[in-house]
Amino acid sequence: MQNTTLAIRTQQLTRRYKQVTAVDGLDLAVRRGEIYGFLGANGAGKTTTMKMLVGLLQPDAGQVWVDGHEMWSASASLAAKAALGYVADRTMLYERLTGREFLAFLAQLRGIPRHQADERIEQLLAILDLNERAESACGAYSFGMKRKLALAGALVHQPAVLILDEPLNGLDPVSARRLKDLFIELASGGTSIFLSTHDLATAESICHRVGIIQRGRLLVEGSAAELRQLATASNLEDVFLTLTAREMEATI
């Protein structure tokens, strides 16, 4: 796969915590316009990987490229970070700001002209059903509303790459459906989406490919159909359980 077709690439990405190797020589390649599901049990290395992808955690070894820019290169790091939007597993907001003020602040940090920012913010508030609470302080938002506002913040600069850690966590079924439709729409327009989720039915329904990580290593990747065939399973949940169990048995 040529580098020009890739939105995210890692090479031998590694991170250790004292005696524990959380991510071990990870090679990933995510295409432009692809929704890539990153699956794994708790402690498998998903969040550590994502923090290295977005520049929050420096690898002990290996490299990361986002939209063709090397994340940990002094000359390219800013361009890599400018190309991505990130929603962490734990939502971090300025709770005294209103939802609209929070988005305007992020737009200003991104250097978006005021008139363009105002138009973009209105679009995002409407898309994510936040209009009615746009003038309320973020601290008064429900958990699900905070998740949606964090996503709006990640989208305000129209990034080429979205990296999302459990983006549907805490959302009601209607909001979750709207976000899944939004992800599909964004990908069809060329945005690449790298998401971790424990909702395997969601991964199966919207992801072009999924990768399963276990003990810091990529166990297997492919389309849901390819993995079902590999594991002789009828759905992605059974694939996950079967393949991870096989790997555990092989290491005992």
Residues 6+ positions from 28 with CB-CB distance below 8 Å: 8, 9, 10, 13, 211, 218
* pLDDT tens-place string over residues 71-130: 999 999 999 999 999 999 888 899 999 999 999 999 999 999 999 999 999 999 999 999
Let me know how long the chain is.
Answer: 252
Taking the domain 1-83+192-252, which CATH number applies?
A: 3.40.50.300
Q: How far apart are CA 94 and CA 129, in angstroms?
A: 20
* pLDDT tens-place string over residues 149-174: 999 999 999 999 999 999 998 888 99
Q: Where are the domains of the chain?
A: 1-83+192-252
How far from 225 is each of 50, 67, 83, 193, CA to CA, in Å? 25, 27, 31, 19
Look at residue 6 in the predicted model and tell me its pLDDT. Answer: 93
* pLDDT tens-place string over residues 26-81: 999 999 999 999 999 989 999 999 999 999 999 999 999 999 999 999 999 999 99
Q: How far apart are CA 202 and CA 177, in angstroms?
A: 9
